[in-house]
Amino acid sequence: MNAKEIIARRVALELENGNVVNLGIGLPTMVVNYLPAGVDVTLQSENGFVGLGSLTGAADPNLVNAGGQPCGVIPGAAMFDSATSFMLIRGGHVDVTVLGGLEVDQSGNLANWMVPGKMVPGMGGAMDLVTGAKKVIIAMEHCAKDGSSKILQECRLPLTGKGVVDLIITELGVFRVTKEGLVCEEIADGVDVEFVKTRTEATLIISPDLKPMQNIS
């Protein structure tokens, strides 16, 4: 499995039956393809519907998700305007949002919407999601393309939200934001704690109950 699939499979284990879930663009959209048997969630798309279907099924070219990808819907799906969509988000009706990240720090701050000097299409709904969703999971590769850590002591890019992240899942492990700091709870097969520390700028607290990273085979 490649890094993105490892991450998506592990994130899927965090979702519970009956959850209303928003998946951000990019890697998070893969999560729906790996839901465990018996887990039924309702996927909300911020561009105006609930009942988003798996991207591996038959996609309707006239229907796209928030990232502009052709997608499908499940029976019972409902369409509505943007105002209603963001009423659901801002009103606290989304149980979990899964988003990508450019940077996350040990205090749970998130930067994922812009890099100064580069063109961006807009901030999208991320700022609303991180404040409105009950649980915020960041699904991202552990390091940037240049090898630098994306899990920092303090974010350097403009923030999407301050103190909003609950859980970070990368191909190297699972990290929970707590009042005491960033706790490494799970570690991927084939790597050790020291390797993870060398790839992480943030100060890690190693859980006394550290266990192998769960996955869906």
For residue 136, what is the DSSP state?
E
**Cα distance between residue 37 and residue 39, in whole Å:** 6
9 vs 39: CA distance, rounded Å: 13
Task: For residue 55, give the 3-state DSSP assignment.
Answer: coil
Q: What's the Rg (C-alpha) of the chain?
A: 17
Cα distances (angstroms) measured from residue 32 to each of 80, 96, 135, 151, 181: 22, 13, 17, 25, 30
The token pair that represents 37 in the structure block: 């048997």
Find out whether 205 and 4 touch, Cβ atoms under 8 Å.
no
Single-letter code of the amino acid located at 113: W
Residues annotated catalytic, as ranges? 46
